[in-house]
Each structure stands twice: as structure tokens, then as C-alpha cells.
Structure 1
Amino acid sequence: MEVTRRQALTGAAGAAVGAAGAVGAVRLKDHLDESTPLPFYGSPVSAVRPDRSPPSAASASVVWGGDRDRRHVALTFDDGPHPDWTPRVLAALAAEDVPATFFCLGRNVRDHGELHRDSVGRHELANHTFEHPDLGRFDWSRCRDEIDRTSRLMEQTYGVVPTLFRPPYGHVGGATLLAAAEAGLTTVLWSAQAREDLVAGRPDGIVDDIASQVRPGSIVLAHDTGSPDRLVTIERLPAIIRRLRDDSYTFVTVSALLAASASATTASHG
């Protein structure tokens, strides 16, 4: 069925394609050229609710790092918990007495949640969706479901409600921002990362590469499961920590990093 430009823009196309009761429930193609109109409501890029009802959040927060005046750094690990790697990461962090933030997948919390049974109060456990979809392709209801399912399960498993959220692949659309904000979550990206592809053939180079990216307030992206090349970082995690300590960095969780930034901002405006 052909959808007119006006239907697409106003969301009326939802009814035209048989969507029941949802304004703008248009299934977008994987790739759209710049002349293809997007619906005002209901698309992944829309930061308003598809039924045009008022949002339950007044604002959204997206961060890439913290206070640049303090030599603090936050290590983060995505996609776990997983029995192959997460225990190795936790052991390395414990040996160096370093806290970290783990952005957990709901499906892995369901299957391997016990791996973080001792992390509460030491490390920070945050939301990374349930199935790791590309939320940049999904509407508000799908984004909300991925986020809410994960937060509920993490609260049931660990007794703590996550306050941070990281979108898979770092893809953020308006629908993702709205869903995260309404869930009371700060959206956390990163300002440095483990770039294993750049040190292929010379794995020890990962230490210098990460150190070269880190600045005061950096949030460092790594993973505690995934493709085998990521083990380059896991195997050298103690060396990475020691190198950053030699550079006078203190390790904190993301929430502690952001709290210090908020305090610094308040003091500067006081």
C-alpha cells in the first residue's frame, strides 16, 4: 500500500498499514535517503511519545565523561556478565583494588547473574538493554521494553535499581533518549576505548593506546565478553591500571565520576 508524504509526516501512515491504535507505527526501511520523510511521531528519531501524550521526564542527560579538572578515570565493561571473562575482570580489579562500572545485558543477568553477587557496593552495575539490539532502529515502545525489562531484572537479582544506561553501539535516537529519561536513567557513552584492532600483531600496545586516550574525567569503554581479540585488553588489564596510576589517575565508578563533576559545577557557580 502506498503511503503519502503527509501520512508519513503526521503519523497517519500507522493506520494505513494496519497498526492498531498507535500513531505513526511506520516500519522504516534499513536505509533511507535524505529525501525520504520520517514520521513526526513513532519513529526511532522522534523524541516525543508516539501517542503525543506528555513525557514523564522533564529532561534527558547524556554524558561522555566527567570533571576535566580532576585526574579521575572510570573503567567500564559492556555486554556481560559472562562466565568466560567476567571472573577474570573481577579478579584483576580486586588485585589492584579498583572499582569499575559494568553495563550488563539483561539476558546475561538472567543466565549468569550470580557472577556479580559480590559486586554490589564495590562495583557499579548498569543497564545495557536486554538483547543488545540497535536501538537507533527502534521506536519508543521497543526502547522502553528493552530498558525496563533489564532494570526490573537487575533490581530482582541484585536488590539495586540501575541509574545508568548505555545504548548498544553508542547509537542514540530520540526514542532511546526519551525511554531512558523516563526510566530515570542517565545515558552514558565514552571518551576513550580499548581499540584492539589497532594493536593487532603487537598486543602489548593496548596499554600505551589506552593511556594515550585517557584524560581527566575519561570514561573508558571495554568489554567482558565478545570476540577473542578483546582478550588483548582483559589479559593486560593489570598493566593498563598500573600505567594509568603511574600517570596519577584515580579510578572511580561512573556515578562517582559524575557526582564529582556535579559538585565541581555547583562550587564554581556558588
Structure 2
Amino acid sequence: MEVTRRQALTAAAGAAVGAAGAVGALRLEEHLDQDTPLPFYGSPVSAIRPDRSAPAAAAGSVVWAGSGTERHVALTFDDGPHPDWTPRVLAALAAEDVPATFFCLGRDVRDHGDLHRESVGRHELANHTFEHPDLGRHDWAECRDEIERTSRLMKDTYGVAPTLFRPPYGHVGGAALLAAAEARLTTVLWSAQAREDLVADRPDGIVEDIAGQVRPGSIVLAHDTGSQDRLVTIDRLPAIIRRLRDDGYTFVTVSALLAASASATTASHG
């Protein structure tokens, strides 16, 4: 008898709930072709809790940029804090009197949290998961654990819980979006980024490359640890800041950018 796609999906969903009554999340294989059926509940792409209970949030949000009504730009740095690079970034920002948003890894807050002791109230510290996994391959429980462990540690370390979340690699499935929404975190991606690979033979070109991408409301992705090529951006951070200032931009944190966007939207509908 021929098995239809819906029957296959239903069977997969039934496997997720389990005969023992404990509803577990099904893991996807490392590689799936487009014809492989996914379970209704419990896969990384599902934005429904695997036990089909009500979500702990009524809504969530994902942003790539601000509204663009003002010449504001937010610089963001992922994957730290790390003793080799983070102090260099903080020194450059301090010299130019520029705030930024740092999407921190829980494991690095655990190991190097003191690097951001003076950042509270000056910069914004946000959640970038604990171990930097690809959340597009993880179920709801795993996504929730990565996010909650990091937020809890950041609150304990800095006295302030993060309100923003960035998924590693920019990969989000429904499970990650649900977990972030339930943690009351806004998911933040980006609209411009440091593209060091495009200027490998002319590293000073990173200044114009970033300036060429930035628009009012841009959120710019960079990193404060990682492969050596990323130092192209870190070493030229003062020049990047001055170039954008020459273009009339004011630097703000992501939360300030989003708050200004919300105010502008409210005013336009007032």
C-alpha cells in the first residue's frame, strides 16, 4: 500500500509522542533530503512545544535593523568575551566614546566574564547561547537550555539579565524562535556585516566596505574573537567609526535603536 506524505508525517509525529507517554523531541539526521518527512512536533523547525502544551509567550519578534527614520547605527560584536580581542575592542570604543552591543557566549562569560565588568551601563550585553551550537539543528529543549543557561549566568555575573538574543550563524528554526520568545528575548540578526574575506588583499578596504553597506537603522555584525582575518576589522575600528560619523551617523546600542524605531512608529500612527 502506498504511504502518502501526510501519513508519513503523522507517523513521525506519533513517534515523537512515544508509547510511554513521555513526549520527546526527534532529532534530525545530519543531512536530510527534501523528501524526508519531518515530525509535526519536536523537530528543530517546529515552533510548537513538543508536548503540544501552550507556549509561555503570546508573541516574539525578530529584527534585522531599526526603522531607518534617523541616521543611527548599532555596532555589534559576537562570540566573546575573550582576553585577546575584547579589550582591544573596548579600548577603541572608549577612545571614540561609542556604545556597542556584545552578544556573549555563556562559556566565555564563565571563563572571562570580568572583561565586561565595566561595560554594564556603557555597552549592552546580550545572549549568544552558551556553547555556540547551530540551533537550526536543535530541538526546543536544547535551544531553551542554551538560552536559559546563558541568561542566568549573565544575570549572576553582571547583575542585569539580557533582553536580546542572537542565534549562532544566524540560523533559526521554529524551536529556537519559540525558546527565545518564551525567554522574553528579542531575536536580533543584522543588516550589514564585516566582510573580511572580500578585502583580504586590501585590508584597509574594510572601512569603505562597511560604510557602503550601512543605512539609517543598520545593525552591523562583527566579532571580538575568532579567526585571525577578523582582526582586519578590529584593527580598523577607529577608522570605521570616524568614517560613519563623517557620513552623519550616531552610534547607539541595539536596544536604543529598537526603542527609537518603536517611538517613531508610534508617532507616525498617532
| Same fold, TM-score > 0.5, yes or no | yes
Q: CA deviation at 1:188?
A: 0.1
Q: CA deviation at 1:97?
A: 0.1
Counterpart for residue 15 of structure 2: 13
Q: Supply the distance in 2 between the matched residues of 1:19 and 1:198 (Cα, whole angstroms).
A: 54
Percentage of matched positions with identical amino acids: 82
Which blocks of at least 5 consecutive residues in structure 1 are unaligned? none
In 2, Cα distance between equivalents of 1:102 and 1:19: 44
Q: Are 2:16 and 2:39, in contact at CA under 8 Å, matched by a contact in 1? A: no
In the alignment, is the contact (CA less than 8 A) between 1:105 and 1:130 conserved in 2?
Answer: yes
Residue 238 of structure 1 corresponds to which residue in structure 2? 238
- Residue 137 (structure 1) aligns with: 137
The 2-side partners of 1:188 and 1:72 are apart by 16
- RMSD (Å) for aligned C-alpha atoms: 1.6
Opposite residue 12 of structure 1, the aligned amino acid is G
The alpha carbon displacement at 1:14 in A equals 3.1
- Cα shift readout 1:218-256 (whole Å, capped 9, x = no counterpart): 000000000000000000000000000000000000000
Secondary structure class of the residue paired with 2:29: coil
The CA deviation at 1:22 is 1.8
1:39 and 2:39 correspond: yes
TM-score w.r.t. length of structure 2 = 0.95
2:80 maps to a residue whose letter is G
Residues 211/128 of structure 1: CA separation in 2 closer, same or farther (3 Å cut): same
Q: Which moved more, 1:259-268 or 1:7-16?
A: 7-16
- Alpha-carbon separation, structure 2, partners of 1:139 and 1:256: 31
What is the one-letter code of the residue matched to 1:52?
R
Comparing 254-263 with 28-37, greater Cα deviation is found at 28-37
Match status 1:261 vs 2:241: no
Measure the CA separation in 1 of the matches of 2:65 and 2:50. Answer: 31
How do residues 85-96 of structure 1 correspond to structure 2 at under 5 angstroms? Answer: 85-96=85-96
Q: What amino acid is the match of 1:13?
A: A
Instruction: Work out whether residues 73 and 217 of structure 2, in 8 Å CA contact, stay in contact via their aligned partners in 1.
Output: yes
Aligned positions of 1:70-89 closer than 5 A: 70-89=70-89
d(CA) in 2 for partners of 1:213, 1:107: 32
CA deviation after TM superposition for structure 1 residue 20, in Å: 6.9
**2:73 partner SS:** strand
**Consecutive unaligned residues in structure 2, runs of 5 or more:** none
Distance 1:31 1:42, change over 3 A: same
Count, aligned residues: 266
CA contact (8 A) 1:7 1:13 kept: no
Deviation of the 1:15 alpha carbon: 5.9
Alpha-carbon distance in structure 2 between the residues aligned to 1:19 and 1:89? 52
User: Which secondary structure state, in structure 2, belongs to the residue aligned with residue 102 of structure 1?
Assistant: strand
Q: CA deviation at 1:67?
A: 2.0
Aligned to 1:183: 183
CA deviation digits over 1:159-209, x for unaligned, max 9?
A: 001000000000011000000000000000000000000001100000000
Give, as a single letter, the amino acid of the residue that structure 2 aligns with 1:193: Q
